[in-house]
Amino acid sequence: MFEHIRQWFESRRAAGASAHDPACLPTPKPAGEQTLASSRLVVLDLETTGLNPSKDQVIAIGAVAITGDVIHLEDQFDLILRRPELDISETVLIHGIGPEALTRGHEIEDALLYLLEWMDGDPVLAYHSAFDQKFLEKTLKQILGYTESHTWFDAAELLPAFFPNAKTGGRGLDSWADFFGLEVSARHHAAADALVTAELTLVALNKANKNGVHTLADLKSKLRYYRRLQNMHRI
């Protein structure tokens, strides 16, 4: 997979490509009657300069794909964006991405075009997905003029929806990983966080299948019902 990424970037540079047509990029797929077992799910994690989408910026993208209830390690990537102009002094100790890495990173337009082609319009899943969705959609619009909305699922909803009685001691990614005995190789590293999120997703999807949730539409309905219950409990 990483060799494929290298060849993709080299071919783009060789062609002197800078222009792009958003209309030619993959169209997002709705969550319909595709079975979970046959669907490709893109598990995504972003590293950013802060928590505010209106002023902070994306600096790294990690992603891995789930297809046929299997995490395909050859279908993943971890890209640091070339953004040497950004001030990361307040967050470098969190994500470990320093000025040198941002100087040597991939050109942001190239990286985003590659990401969209790789995603191929498939549904996206992230832990606390609203955060990643806001940052990614803002960046795609600013850099590429791309305004299509993908289907997103939130692993932070998926897990408690199917394991409502789990005593995790917290709602964070680490708490769920500890609960299921999963090893997190490096926190606040986009590719590592994406991988453990994918592992947790497989656990939840296995439980979903046993509970009669077999399609993306079923999954969307289950999570809508979960949110409705949560809102009722807050009243």
Q: Which residue do the tokens 């600013």 mark?
A: 142
CA-based radius of gyration for the chain? 18
CATH number for the domain formed by residue range(s) 38-234:
3.30.420.10
pTM of the model: 0.90
Q: What angle do CA 230, 199, 7 make, to 5 degrees?
A: 125
Mean pLDDT of the chain: 89
Domain boundaries, the chain: 38-234
Total H helices, total E strands in the chain: 9, 5
**Is it the case that residue 41 has pLDDT exceeding 60?**
yes
Both structure tokens of 53: 């989408």
Residues 177-184, mean pLDDT to the nearest whole number: 90
Per residue in 45-70, pLDDT tens? 999 999 999 999 999 999 999 998 89
Residues 201-205, mean pLDDT to the nearest whole number: 97
CA dihedral (1, 107, 84, 101) in degrees, to 10, reads 10
Per residue in 212-234, pLDDT tens? 999 999 999 999 999 999 888 77
Residues 99-109, mean pLDDT to the nearest whole number: 91
Q: Which residue do the tokens 């986009």 mark?
A: 190
